[in-house]
Amino acid sequence: MSNIYIVKLHESEKFTNFIKSLDAVPDFRNPIAIEYHLTDILVIMVFSILGGANNPVEIERFCELHADWFNDILCLGSITPSHDTFLRILEFINPIELEFWLNMWRDDFTNILSRRHIAFDGKCDNAN
């Protein structure tokens, strides 16, 4: 396993491209009332769902349990988003739009590296 090494997620090109894809998702919220960037909320939601969360309350709990880690890779501040925040995002976000940008990221990544899967476990296989 000498070709696998641990990387810091926020230093990974995979993660940077993932963030860029989520940045393209339109944010229709009132700019005056925004407390968290949409991209940060979406990152938390994606990782929470990958971690087994099934609803906004579980997403909030996952975020609280991993707050230090999320603060290392995102700009959340001292307070994690509430389940109401996640629920509002889920209600207003266009799932087709989100799916489009996530698929664009996946397809670009897998085509560039000729891969069929993407590791989300913190390991990197010489493809930063």
Q: Considering its fold, how many domains does the chain have in total? A: 1
H/E segment holding residue 124: strand 123-124
pTM for the whole thing? 0.76
Asked, for residue 12, whether it belongs to a domain, the answer is: no
Task: Determine the pLDDT at residue 11.
Answer: 63
Residue 20 has pLDDT above 50, yes or no: yes
Find out whether 12 and 128 touch, Cβ atoms under 8 Å: yes
- Range of 61's domain? 18-25+34-115
Q: Which residue has the higher pLDDT, 54 or 8?
A: 54
The terminus-to-terminus CA distance of the chain in angstroms comes to 16
Gap between the Cα atoms of 126 and 128, Å rounded: 6
Name residues whose C-beta falls within 8 Å of residue 22's C-beta, 6 or more positions apart in sequence. 38, 39, 42, 43, 101, 102, 105
Task: Determine the pLDDT at residue 84.
Answer: 94
